[in-house]
């Protein structure tokens, strides 16, 4: 960036005093802009160096386009149910699943707020997630390979999203039934023998971690409603 600024100041005598007088920009601003442009193009995240604000709008547009693409990719129930199966077999991008999970949970909370504003009765706590918006924003349960990334995120989903086996046994069991549908009855039964409650292990296994995410999506009506 400094080299670009210096070059601009030298070329054509732009270092002459007062050359930028009355202008909205100077050689330093242009150097910042060019630097951010290259950083923006080189970065997969679309991040600039932070010197210029010009590309903040482009970054927002990229994020909005990515969100639209995500919604379009799962616009029907068949594709959404198929994704749940892919989660269980580690055949999809876990980072994408994390984003879908966040969007699904936020939509679920908003739908409930809208229903109450329109005169509806507040949902029974046993039937509705107690997770907050700020907690949803922190969720990063899976890695890109659909392996466990953050146990705290999975614990949040278990404690504040999924129906409790004690308080809501029917809903709890129904989520496992959906898992059997998307993953296969025999495969699910085989894997369930390795769950912590069956083995006495303290740490959550990879399959169980994926099952938490899959059941959380199912509980928030991902299959029938989407994001």
Do 96 and 194 fall into the same domain? yes
What pTM does this model have?
0.67
pLDDT at 227: 80
Q: Tell which residue, 78, 66, 94, has the closest CA to residue 214.
A: 94
**Are 19 and 119 in a shared domain?**
no
Q: How far is CA 91 from CA 77, 84, 86, 116, 131, in A?
A: 18, 10, 5, 38, 28
In a domain, 226, yes or no: no
- Count Cβ atoms below 10 Å from residue 36 Cβ, excluding itself: 22
Residue for token digits 């989660």?
87
Say if residue 106 is in the same domain as residue 153.
Answer: yes
pLDDT given for residue 159 in this prediction: 94
Q: Which two tokens stand for residue 225?
A: 């409603």
Give the pLDDT of residue 179. Answer: 95
Question: Structural domain of residue 15, as residue ranges?
Answer: 2-72
Q: Say if 227 falls within a structural domain.
A: no
DSSP secondary-structure letter at 125? G
Per-residue pLDDT, 12: 47
Q: Find residue 60's DSSP bridge partners.
A: none
| Cα(161)–Cα(129) distance, integer angstroms | 4
Beta-bridge partners for 142? 148
Output the CA angle 217-84-150, nearest 5 degrees.
Answer: 60
Q: Which residues contact 96 (CB under 8 A, 6 or more apart)?
A: 70
> Domain ends where: 30, 51, 72?
72
Establish if 101 belongs to a structural domain.
yes
Q: What is the dihedral of CA 55, 57, 59, 61, to 10 degrees?
A: -140
Q: In a structure prediction context, what are the per-residue pLDDT tens digits for the chain, which is 227 residues long?
A: 455 555 545 554 444 455 545 555 565 666 666 666 666 556 544 454 555 455 555 555 555 555 556 667 788 899 999 999 999 999 999 999 999 999 999 999 998 888 888 887 777 776 788 999 999 999 999 999 999 999 999 999 999 999 999 999 999 999 999 999 999 999 998 898 877 776 667 778 999 999 999 999 999 999 999 88
16 domain-assigned? yes
């Amino acid at each position: 960036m400094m080299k670009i600024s210096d070059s601009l100041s030298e070329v054509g005598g732009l270092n002459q005093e007062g050359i930028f007088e009355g202008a909205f920009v100077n050689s330093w601003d242009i150097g910042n802009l060019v630097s951010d442009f290259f950083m923006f193009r080189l970065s997969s995240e679309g991040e600039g160096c932070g010197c210029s604000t010009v590309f903040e709008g482009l970054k927002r547009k990229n994020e909005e386009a990515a969100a639209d693409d995500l919604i379009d990719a799962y616009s029907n129930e068949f594709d959404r149910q198929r994704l749940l199966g892919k989660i269980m077999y580690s055949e999809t991008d876990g980072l994408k699943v994390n984003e879908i999970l966040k969007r699904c949970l936020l939509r679920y909370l908003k739908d409930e707020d809208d229903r109450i504003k329109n005169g509806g009765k507040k949902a029974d706590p046993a039937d509705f997630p107690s997770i907050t918006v700020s907690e949803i924003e922190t969720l990063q349960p899976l890695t890109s390979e659909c392996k466990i990334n953050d146990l705290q995120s999975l614990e949040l989903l278990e404690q504040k999203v999924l129906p409790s086996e004690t308080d809501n046994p029917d809903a709890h069991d129904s989520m496992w039934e959906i898992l059997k549908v998307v993953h296969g009855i025999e495969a699910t039964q085989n894997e369930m023998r390795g769950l912590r409650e069956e083995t006495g292990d303290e740490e959550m296994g990879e399959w169980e971690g994926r099952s938490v995410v899959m059941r959380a999506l199912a509980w928030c009506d991902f299959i029938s409603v989407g994001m």
